[in-house]
A and B are shown apart, each in its own frame.
Chain A
Amino acid sequence: MGKLLLDYGSGGKASYRLIKDIFLKYLGNIYLNKLDDAVCLEQIKSPVVMSTDSYTVDPIIFPGGDIGSLAVHGTVNDVAMLGARPKYLSCGFILEEGLDLALLEQIVCSMAKAAARAKVLVVTGDTKVVPKGAVDKIFINTTGLGELMLQAPLSGASAKPGDVIILSGTIGDHGLTILSRQKGISFDTKIKSDSAPLNVLIEKLLNQVPEVHVLRDPTRGGLATTLNEIARQSQVCCLIEEKLLPIKEEVRGGCAFLGLDPLYLANEGKFVLILPEQYERQALDILKQDELGKDACVIGKIQSAPIGKVVLQTTLGGQRLLDMLEGEQLPRIC
């Protein structure tokens, strides 16, 4: 298929060919096919929930996903966390001159599959091609629009003392997959990213469970950072039990080897659910029926003090703070 030339971003015939042969071929729908400057979405009835995110992951293809599927899942999940049903995506590509067109096609095809699974349409888009070295292969920005399914949007500020904290599955899989690839370390075990759209499962949950206080996906900064944000926003304490945390044995081992803490590693297909204890059983039943929630479990509870802190009850029965990450996790001396 050849390589991407600067011409493809010129707005002329080459651009048109790129749009038609790759983007419309996979992502096309009644909105996108019109090729107008903007799109008019007449169908939205409830309050609109909107989120945007840019994706620059390196490597662009990794075990369990690629930058295309990640760009769909990440934004769809953010919209869903407010209690909304994601419907539409915009999609902006910044592409590096010389990019393999077959690789671009692979990424776009993967986006289309991810969008179909998440039941969202890509309704508007943009492509820029920049000189070699100006970006690293592909950067993608997606903005998601969704319809609010609740009376009021969910927020990290609504956790209440007595609530239980549920985690939808294992942590650290995505972060360790990416970091180990970046460091050129391959483990013999099958560690792969958990990148997945959570919106369908969340819709099922919100339809059946009468009261949910907080939903949040522990992406960058990991579970520890997400819980700290919730503790601060809600002015409560999250008490977490280490022995309840679902972490795959191979992720635990890989982290020990690299000096990383799975509690601070990014996840792309998990969420934290905080709700009154009386609905714990019902929520877990719904989650466990779904492939994306089969490892869901209670990991702790909300208490009133110490305010704004996350306390970890260790496997030995001791207690310590679980702080936010300071900057990135860096390799240590010994």
Chain B
Amino acid sequence: MNLLNKFSNPELCKKLLTLLKNELIRPFRFMEVCGTHTVAIFRSGLRSLFPENLIHVSGPGCPVCVTHEREVAAFLELAQKDVVLATFGDLMRVPGPNKQTLKDLQAQGANIKIVYSPFDALQLALDTPDRDVIFIGIGFETTAPTVAATLNVARQQNIKNFFVFCLHKLVPPALKALLSGGVKIDGFLLPGHVSAIIGRGPYEFLSKDYNLPATIGGFEPVDILQAIYELVKMFNLNQPAVVNCYSRVVKDEGNQKALLMLKRVFEPCSALWRGLGEIPDSGLQIRSEFEAFDARKSFNLEDLPQVPPLKGCKCGDVLKGLLRPDECPLFNKQCTPESPVGPCMVSTEGSCAAYYKYLV
């Protein structure tokens, strides 16, 4: 039995589920804010095994889903310029204002390359010195450090044809915005990957200011169940705290090296979130020392294009946990993974897609 198998051991999960069931003396509504948690809960079948009074809500944790429609319109515009656009695969099928996607543009001849890492995009720039290569920097604190490191290398090597369109977002400010908007949640399952970078500290406002328990959890079934069990225990005792249940990966102080790299290259800025709108200090922008690589400045994108809101799409309410995906009037009617209306149905990590794909 290897390490991963241990954390998906069915016997152990069964025991944890029993413990959890006994602890649930009243309904408990928890929100996870990580696409990987959403998928893990559905894929493992945990969702179908949760006790009835455990209510699972997916928050704004899928990087594709929270990308604002104006940001989508902007990268679709970029793809139509005389550039090579490098992106993670997730963005290929996100529809823009006129339903067009990067996949459509690629078929029409746009030069779009799917990469696994921003360093692959930098290599692309090195391999094609006569073409401008723009990498779409998307994702939370998890992905941003690698993008920062890439920009750092690009600056050291004085590369002239590499740019980043920075759309990175930060998790704690979004949680704060959600709570000040009056969302009804009894506790948070915090994202393991994001926390590996930022540590435990940035979440402490959850228990201090909002009296809510929160646990940092891993992604195997045992990790998830343990983190939820701890949440319910704190809730019942009315002793809210932010607890790290994923200590084999997450240090309380986070990853100092990654944080330093983030700080060197980026600075916080106001950012647009799908469904949540503009949230102060919830995004990252490229510092002026690195502005030569900032696609917003070099490609005239300081003002994102204005777009009309998606008609009937309730992704915003879904992201806030106000609406279950299957309560949206478009769900499984106009909106399916084959023909998605909103981003929560496009992304494999979106909660609408998870409901559609996994719920029996």
Contacts and interface: CB of A to CB of B under 8 A. Distances in A.
Interface stretch (B20-28, B86-94, B149-157, B273-281): B86-94
A313 B338 CA distance: 25
Interface size range of chain A in the complex: 20 to 34
Interface stretch (B137-145, B173-181, B261-269, B306-314): B137-145
B88 A317 contact: no
Interface size range of chain B in the complex: 35 or more
A314 B44 contact: yes
Interface in B85-118: 88-90, 92-93, 103, 114-116
Contacts of A327: 93, 103
B29 interface: no
Of the listed residues A311, A320, A321, the one surrounded by the most CB atoms of chain B closer than 10 A to its CB is A320
Given A320-B47, A333-B143, 16 more contacts: A311-B360, A314-B43, A315-B10, A316-B8, A316-B46, A317-B10, A318-B45, A320-B48, A320-B358, A323-B356, A323-B358, A327-B103, A330-B92, A331-B89, A333-B64, A334-B63
B48 A330 contact: no
A111 to B, nearest CB: 33
Contact of A323 (B4, B93, B138, B357): B357
B358 A331 contact: no
Nearest to A185: B116
Contacts of A306: 360
Nearest to B34: A334
Contact of A330 (B35, B43, B89): B89
A321 B49 contact: no
Interface in B206-236: 221
A223 to B, nearest CB: 16
Interface of B: 4, 8, 10, 13-14, 35-36, 42-49, 63-64, 88-90, 92-93, 103, 114-116, 138-140, 142-143, 193, 221, 337-338, 348-349, 356-360
Task: Kindly list the 4 A-B residue pairs having the minimum CB-CB distance in the complex, ordered from nearest.
Answer: A318-B45, A330-B89, A314-B45, A318-B48
B63 A333 contact: yes
Contacts of A81: none
A330 B91 CA distance: 10
Contact of B45 (A183, A312, A332, A334): A312
Contacts of B193: 334
Contacts of A183: 116
B37 to A, nearest CB: 12
Nearest to A237: B360
A182 to B, nearest CB: 12
25 contacts: A183-B116, A306-B360, A309-B360, A311-B360, A312-B45, A314-B43, A316-B10, A316-B14, A316-B221, A318-B44, A318-B46, A318-B49, A319-B360, A320-B42, A321-B358, A326-B93, A326-B337, A326-B338, A330-B89, A330-B92, A331-B115, A332-B88, A332-B348, A333-B138, A334-B36
A320 to B, nearest CB: 4
Contact of B139 (A315, A317, A334): A334
Contacts of B93: 326-327
Contacts of A333: 63-64, 88, 90, 138-139, 143
Contacts of B139: 333-334
Nearest to A329: B89
A316 B338 CA distance: 29
A327 B89 CA distance: 12
Nearest to A328: B89
A330 B10 CA distance: 30
A330 B114 contact: yes
Interface string A107-129: 00000000000000000000000
